[in-house]
Chain A
Amino acid sequence: MVSSNTTAGYAAGRGDAPVPKYSTGIAKVVNSALYRHTLGAAVESRIGRIILLAGVPLVWLIMLHVGPIYQMLKISLMSHYPVLPGVESHFTLDNYAIFFKESLYFTPLIKSFIFATAATAVTLVVVYPVAYYVAKVVKPEGRSKALLLLLVPFWAGELIRTFSVIMLLANRGAVNVLLREIGLIDRPIPMLYTSFSLGFGLVYLICLYMLLPLYSAIEKIPGQYLDAAADLGAGPFTRFRRIILPLSKDGIVSGCSLVFLTCIGVFATPMLLGGPNTVLFPETISGFFHGASDKWPVGAAFALIMLVTALITAGIFMRLVGGKKRSAF
């Protein structure tokens, strides 16, 4: 019975419905002499499989994830780079010493840290209620929409977002024009190219890096905890301080670290929104790489100083707030 049905099905397959296409090409590739003697032979052995799996990733990770940092370290310890003919480069710590000798260099780093820390703190305070609202107040069906709306500006990119801040804060920007129209001011308040515009721009730039970690941490807090606490007579403030805040600690830690590390490394924003008083460390470092190339070792040393201090700061923060868990992601 099976066989007669089969013939019928086969005939039908040839007549009306076309025979589906199966991936017979795979077998041709796999059985080809070329494949069998190369990849095919390689996956046969354990060593071959490990090389296929780990070779490229390890080379990439070591060459391009570690390599640049390593080269930067190496050059920061050289007296000259690029090494010109006739000039001997020798080992030196002078490049680091320069940093501590001149307040010209010292101040921008301090400023960078102040801006990054302040921006992180402001972002946390501003974004937390928003994240809480989306994660706990909005009904589950509406959540992804509420989140998506907040993500829209994120797609504009760093430079365009920074640029758009100018529209708001310029002397003939929206804020000043509006204030003058309603008669609060006679002449524009100079907001652009100040610490204020830079801070405003930084917060505007990075607030979404804070939103996502906070949101996912708060969303994970089971609703019963809050109900249970309410049953026990805890008011909204107590509930927030005793339950929500500690349970969203992971999100706070990773959000703040992410925002802080991003802020420290922002290059274009201070150049577009900052003024003469807001020269930050990236701009200082950048100076060593333009013009006389001889200054590269100093620039490398400075970049490392910034990297290490930034990572240590983030690390201390994670330790203090996050306790034993130290992973940023």
Chain B
Amino acid sequence: MQPVVQFDNVTKSYGKHVAVENLNLSIEAGKFVTLLGPSGCGKSTSLRMLGGFETPNSGRILLGGKDVTRVPPNKRNVNIVFQDYALFPHMSIAKNIAFGLELKGFDNQHIHRRVSELLELVQLQDYAKRLPSELSGGQRQRVALMRALAPDPEVLLLDEPLSALDAKLRQQMQIELKSIQEKTGKTFMFVTHDQEEALTMSDTIVVMNKGRIEQMGDPNTLYGRPGSVFVANFIGETNLLRSTVVGTEGDQAALNWNGVTIKAAQGGLTPKAGDHLYVVLRPEAIHCSAAEPESGNRIKGKIRQRVFKGNHTSLSVEVGDGTMLNALVHPADVSQLNGEEIWVGWKPETTTVIPDRHAHN
């Protein structure tokens, strides 16, 4: 199937500063795709290039198979939901939503029908005549979304639309956004630097770093099998164990980590003895116990810090000489960990490995 959006070797620089470098990206129709990355990594720039507000220095952008690299924003069938909504302050909610429809030349009846329909979709039908300044943040957010959806764009672009909302409203909007996307079947291209938001809503996450794509995949893959140290650190909390390969056994590798031998799933790599690898060990994969576990990787440690987080407790455990591991423990299990000295254990198949790119071997 032909992708709706295609970035083809797109590079954009401001003066000497390269904001986006050799971006290659295809997006399938009807998907919720998230661009995720730290501040300044080029997410907004990519989005604005697709919206037509920036022109790439080189490369092409295709929309529905057509080259739109140099087409102005008003001639592209994509719409943006801006971070601060950018609702027209002098127009009522209904007029805001109607703006794109009016320009498409629909008649009054059609516009009215479509506006009412969209307002109902977000339960704002009673607010049609109000000005944006008379709405709450969440309501403005919904109006901005509906205004962008109204002209029926091929792709809807959202540039950190939830960042101005408070935490609770934000979670609620994440769910609402996802359900609207599913209801309308539109392709959403969403930008955020919040990994939790990305994991909650996306079909596909594109992790960006310094103007390049670091890794792309569905949330499960990115969380379970990050392809680089950057991704592992950026998505979720993680313990990275830098180890040296000793040998392989079936689909598992035997590794030396600070003098302790551990095993880990190879995760598609073919490590050789002597290679350096990182083992990605998620805090929730760790099992802490007073007694030594019978199987799997295990190591003795001392509890240095306990942080109560409601539905779980976060432990900082010192293993070996000064290395800290983060572990999540259920409230039920915490009570058994009275003493300082405990055993830390995990199953090899719950981890994955990442090659150490900086190692010289």
Interface residues of A (CB under 8 A from B): 2, 5-6, 9-10, 13, 19-24, 26-28, 30-31, 44
Cα distance, A21 to B102, chains bound together (Å):
11
Contact partner of B120 (CB less than 8 A), chosen from A9, A24, A26, A44, is A9
Judge whether A24 and B108 touch: CB under 8 Å.
yes
Contact partner of B112 (CB less than 8 A), chosen from A19, A23, A28, is A19
Judge whether A24 and B125 touch: CB under 8 Å.
no
Contact partner of B102 (CB less than 8 A), chosen from A9, A13, A23, is A23
Judge whether A30 and B101 touch: CB under 8 Å.
no
Judge whether A22 and B103 touch: CB under 8 Å.
no
Closest 3 CB pairs of A and B: A27-B105, A9-B116, A6-B117
Contacts of B109 in A (CB 8 A): 19
**In the complex, residue of chain B having the shortest beta-carbon distance to the beta carbon of A12:** B116
Cα distance, A316 to B243, chains bound together (Å):
73
Judge whether B112 and A6 touch: CB under 8 Å.
no
**In the complex, residue of chain B having the shortest beta-carbon distance to the beta carbon of A44:** B72
Contact partner of A26 (CB less than 8 A), chosen from B103, B117, B125, is B103
Contacts of B105 in A (CB 8 A): 24, 27-28, 31
Judge whether B116 and A24 touch: CB under 8 Å.
no
At the interface, yes or no: B98 with Cβ under 8 Å from chain A?
A: yes
**Chain A: interface secondary structure?**
helix
Cα distance, A2 to B146, chains bound together (Å):
14
Judge whether A22 and B72 touch: CB under 8 Å.
no
Judge whether A5 and B108 touch: CB under 8 Å.
no
**In the complex, residue of chain A having the shortest beta-carbon distance to the beta carbon of B128:** A20
Contacts of B183 in A (CB 8 A): 2
At the interface, yes or no: B113 with Cβ under 8 Å from chain A?
A: yes
Q: List 7 A-B contacts (CB under 8 A).
A: A2-B120, A9-B117, A13-B113, A22-B101, A26-B102, A27-B103, A27-B104
At the interface, yes or no: B121 with Cβ under 8 Å from chain A?
A: yes
Within 8 A of A (CB), among B38-58: none
A10 to chain B, nearest CB (A): 5
**In the complex, residue of chain A having the shortest beta-carbon distance to the beta carbon of B125:** A9
A242 to chain B, nearest CB (A): 42
Judge whether B95 and A22 touch: CB under 8 Å.
yes
Contacts of A27 in B (CB 8 A): 102-106
At the interface, yes or no: B111 with Cβ under 8 Å from chain A?
A: yes
Contacts of B117 in A (CB 8 A): 2, 6, 9
Judge whether A13 and B98 touch: CB under 8 Å.
no
Residues A22 and B112 in contact in the complex (CB < 8 Å), given A9-B125, A28-B105: yes
Cα distance, A27 to B74, chains bound together (Å):
13
Contact partner of B108 (CB less than 8 A), chosen from A9, A10, A21, A30, is A21
Contacts of B95 in A (CB 8 A): 22-23
Residues A24 and B106 in contact in the complex (CB < 8 Å), given A6-B113, A10-B116, A13-B116: yes
Contacts of A30 in B (CB 8 A): 103
A206 to chain B, nearest CB (A): 38
A255 to chain B, nearest CB (A): 34
Contact partner of A20 (CB less than 8 A), chosen from B94, B107, B121, is B94
Within 8 A of A (CB), among B125-146: 125, 128
Contact with A along B274-305 (1 / 0, CB 8 A): 00000000000000000000000000000000
Cα distance, A6 to B111, chains bound together (Å):
13
**In the complex, residue of chain A having the shortest beta-carbon distance to the beta carbon of B113:** A10
Judge whether B113 and A22 touch: CB under 8 Å.
no
A48 to chain B, nearest CB (A): 12
A sample of 17 more A-B contacts (CB under 8 A), given A13-B113, A13-B116, is A2-B117, A2-B120, A5-B120, A6-B113, A6-B117, A13-B112, A19-B109, A19-B112, A20-B128, A22-B98, A22-B102, A22-B111, A24-B108, A24-B111, A26-B102, A27-B104, A27-B105
Contacts of A19 in B (CB 8 A): 108-109, 112
B265 to chain A, nearest CB (A): 46
Contact partner of A2 (CB less than 8 A), chosen from B102, B106, B121, is B121
**In the complex, residue of chain A having the shortest beta-carbon distance to the beta carbon of B98:** A22
Contacts of A2 in B (CB 8 A): 117, 120-121, 183
Contacts of A9 in B (CB 8 A): 116-117, 120, 125
**In the complex, residue of chain A having the shortest beta-carbon distance to the beta carbon of B117:** A6
Contacts of A28 in B (CB 8 A): 105
Cα distance, A119 to B113, chains bound together (Å):
67
Contacts of A26 in B (CB 8 A): 102-103
Contacts of B112 in A (CB 8 A): 10, 13, 19-20, 22
**In the complex, residue of chain A having the shortest beta-carbon distance to the beta carbon of B107:** A24
Cα distance, A247 to B19, chains bound together (Å):
41
Cα distance, A2 to B121, chains bound together (Å):
7
A65 to chain B, nearest CB (A): 32
Cα distance, A23 to B109, chains bound together (Å):
12
Residues A24 and B102 in contact in the complex (CB < 8 Å), given A19-B109, A44-B72: yes
Cα distance, A30 to B98, chains bound together (Å):
16
Contacts of B98 in A (CB 8 A): 22-23
Contacts of A24 in B (CB 8 A): 102, 105-108, 111
**In the complex, residue of chain B having the shortest beta-carbon distance to the beta carbon of A30:** B103
Contact partner of B116 (CB less than 8 A), chosen from A6, A22, A44, is A6
A94 to chain B, nearest CB (A): 55
Contacts of A44 in B (CB 8 A): 72
Cα distance, A31 to B105, chains bound together (Å):
8
Cα distance, A27 to B120, chains bound together (Å):
26
A246 to chain B, nearest CB (A): 38
B181 to chain A, nearest CB (A): 15
Contacts of A21 in B (CB 8 A): 108
Cα distance, A30 to B120, chains bound together (Å):
30
A109 to chain B, nearest CB (A): 52
